[in-house]
Amino acid sequence: MLDRFSLIIHLIVAFYTALASCAAQEPLILPGYKVGESIPYYSSDTGEHITDAAGQLAYIPFPTCNETGRPLELLFGVEKDINCTIDFINDPLFHLLEFYVHNDAPMTCRIPTKPIPPSLLMKEFEAGTTDNTDGQGSLSEVYTPMIVALTGTLQLSHLHVSTNLNVLVHAAAKSVAPGTIAAATAYSVSRDPPTRIVIGDSLPLRFSVRWYPNTSLPSGWTGVGGHLTFSTLVYCMLCILATAAGCMAYFRGVELPRRLKSHGKDRLGGMERGGGLGGYGIANGNGYGYGIGKRD
């Protein structure tokens, strides 16, 4: 009897062990983002790319923005311009910017592909190398990398940084994986003169965020040299037709009736000057006419 009871206990333990093993091997299923839901933005710890105990690249939340009092966040599916001013550039951050501007190391960032439950985020922080630092670890597949090409010029005593950045984010097709981020990147653009930065200054960053509903990048190129496109031709033709229709309506509704009325008055006045009904105006030598009536 005891052996049978032990066998049952052993089978139950084996069953739950196998069940836990299968659950651990199943892919992590997370719900997708809703439109307008916030997306945290993580940057690499330093330009030297510090790794955690498992050899994974370490990340920290983006520095706090003066405008919001929070680290930089994106909103799923929302296109907008985001101002994020880093209040104080300390010595480590200044040298980190030197890394990025001089292209010694890429500015490697990442955003969650789908919303990550707080319990899993806590697991990541526990696996980090330092406080508020997390490695990719077991959750590396639920993050989408974002390489930021920060440009500028490196001087002996200061930096010039192009602080206007375009941010392009591709969402997976809604029919395939709704609410899922597929790819992302960011790069500096020369919209304004570069900002001069020294240690102790603030860094005003301006992110222009654009979203795409799939992984295809639509073409916005219209060629070089002129603005003559098919849409421009159609617009010009419509303007010509509208102008012609307006002129025709004015002529038929206003100008033609006015001319007909004026012509009728002129004919009626000529008949009166001719001497009455049925008469013919015959001029005499002095330029005056008299009427010759029709006789029976």
21 occurs within a structural domain: no
Does 263 have pLDDT greater than 60?
Answer: yes
Pairing relation of β-strands 203-212 and 164-171?
parallel
Does 130 have pLDDT greater than 50?
Answer: no
Q: Is the pTM of this model over 0.75?
A: no
Number of domains observed in the structure of the chain: 1
Per the CB < 8 A criterion, the answer to whether 164 and 206 are in contact is yes
Q: What is the pLDDT of residues 214-234, one digit of tens each?
A: 998 888 776 655 556 677 788
Whole-angstrom Cα distance, residue 230 to residue 251? 32
Whole-angstrom Cα distance, residue 85 to residue 205? 6
Amino acid at 6: S
**Spatial CB neighbours of 258, under 8 Å, sequence gap ≥ 6:** none
CA 228 to chain centre: 26
14 occurs within a structural domain: no
Structural domain span for residue 113: 36-212
Binning pLDDT at 50, 70 and 90, where does residue 120 land? Answer: low
